[in-house]
Amino acid sequence: MSDDENEILEVVIPETLVGWRVDRALAMLTGRSRAETLRLVDAGLVTLGGRVLTKASTSLESGQHLEAVIPPLPTGEVEPDASVVVDVVREDIDFVLINKRPEQVVHPGAGQTTGTLVAGLLARYPEMARLVDEGLCEAPRPGIVHRLDKGTSGLLVAARTPEGYLSLSEQASSHTMVRTYWAMAEGHLSDDRGVIDAPIGRSLREPTMMAVRADGRVARTHYEVIERLDSPHAATLVELRLETGRTHQIRVHLAAIGHPVVNDQRYGHRRERRLAEGRFFLHSRSLSLRHPRTDDVVTAVVALPDDLLALVGGTRWT
């Protein structure tokens, strides 16, 4: 789903809503459940008086300006589709590790309702539908505990059992699930390693985009330079690890320091296209998690796909 399909709610708080909790007011204004509105707050999609809201229990006051980015409603149960390619890296009773293709959309949304990765997973692992039946997941996202945007390739984990879902969801939300990414950034980063520590919130100029904002949510990205390249343009191959997991965090942070992700036409600038339309140089390279049953560390690594390898000059980075 693209951010472009989201709706923007803007309201000046009337006397009738004074004293209401934000999540309760949002549920009334949008027709969504309280659980859904809590997720909006947790995702940093709600602002009150121009500041990103961090507590759903905040009481409303008369005249305050409330704004929320509202994703489309779920589109219902997903039909299994065996034609969808599922590139399995590791299969376990509780989860499956997948190497997502860049053109794939993880789950249905307003922008795409069929042919998603979830449809392929349900065809291969029909037991994942149980997670919806037991109320652990919403219908369009059975087993999904984190996602990669369309345009990003690489490792993704999905749960197959309730035990797996509960464990992996907690690991994802507490950031004990460690994911590293490889990106190519425009230009040469001056330091070999560092931390980008800049809060992220919704852009005031374009609410469907994220931006560095003083009143945003804490966001930290650790990076280390792998190689600086000079041809066909100055660029830096860099490894990144997220200490936090904000929407579009890597793309926003690299753009904020003047080195946007190569071919990122949303947060960067448009040079001669070196990748397919909608594809940018961002790859989920490795993922480490605790096994839901044994607590053993499980680690997987996937090589750069061919389209990205072509930009780094060969196979030495596989």
pLDDT tens, residue by residue, 96-123: 999 999 999 888 765 567 889 999 999 9
Tell me: do 34 and 47 sit in the same domain.
Answer: yes
Which range, 66-75, 191-200, 261-270, is most confident?
Answer: 191-200
Do 257 and 187 belong to one domain? Answer: yes
Task: Answer yes or no: do 195 and 263 share one domain.
Answer: yes
In a domain, 314, yes or no: no
95-99, 109-113, 146-150, 176-180, range with the lowest pLDDT: 109-113
User: Does residue 308 belong to any structural domain of this protein?
Assistant: no
Is the pLDDT confidence value at 74 over 60?
A: no
Question: Are residues 49 and 125 located together in one domain of the fold?
Answer: no
Sorting pLDDT into bands at 50, 70 and 90, what band is 151?
very high
**309 belongs to a structural domain:** no
| Residue 254 forms part of a structural domain | yes
pLDDT of 3 above 60:
no
What amino acid positions are annotated as catalytic residues? 149
In sequence order, what are the beta bridge partners of 178?
288
Residues 204 and 145 grouped into a single domain: no
- Residue 107 included in any domain: yes
Euclidean distance between CA atoms 50 and 39, whole angstroms: 19
The arithmetic mean of pLDDT across residues 55-80, rounded, is 84
Same domain, 260 and 229: yes
> Do 59 and 83 belong together in one domain?
no
pLDDT band at 232 (very low <50, low <70, confident <90, very high): confident
pLDDT at 202 over 80: no
pLDDT over threshold 60, residue 75: no
Do the beta carbons of residue 153 and residue 251 sit within 8 Å? Answer: no
The mean predicted confidence, pLDDT, of the chain is 88
Count: domains in the chain? 3
Tell me the pLDDT band of 4, cut-offs 50, 70 and 90: very low
Average pLDDT score over residue span 299-317: 85
- Are 170 and 186 in a shared domain? no
Contacts of 283 (CB under 8 A, 6+ apart): 152, 153, 154, 181, 182, 183, 302, 304, 305, 308
What CATH number does the domain containing 49 carry? 3.10.290.10
Q: What is the pLDDT of residue 208?
A: 66
Provide the pLDDT for residue 110: 54
| 132 inside domain | yes
Same domain, 193 and 100: no
The domain boundary residue, chosen from 70, 98, 114: 70
User: For residue 272, what pLDDT band results from cuts at 50, 70 and 90?
Assistant: low
Q: Domain residues for 60?
A: 3-70
- Claim to verify: residue 33 and residue 100 sit in the same structural domain: no
- Domain at 212, CATH number: 3.30.2350.10
List Cα–Cα distances, 93 to 27, 45, 99, 291, in angstroms: 37, 35, 18, 10
User: How sure is the predictor about 43, in pLDDT bands with cuts at 50, 70 and 90?
Assistant: confident
Q: What is the pLDDT of residue 111?
A: 59
User: What pLDDT is stored for residue 178 in this prediction?
Assistant: 94
Task: Choose the final residue of a domain: 70, 90, 117.
Answer: 70
Among 123, 146, 174, which residue terminates a domain?
174
Same domain as 153, residue 131: yes
Question: Would 312 be classed as within a structural domain?
Answer: no
pLDDT on residue 1: 36
Confidence of residue 133 (pLDDT cuts 50, 70, 90): confident
Residue 206 domain flag: yes
Same domain, 55 and 103: no
pLDDT confidence bin for 271, thresholds 50/70/90: low
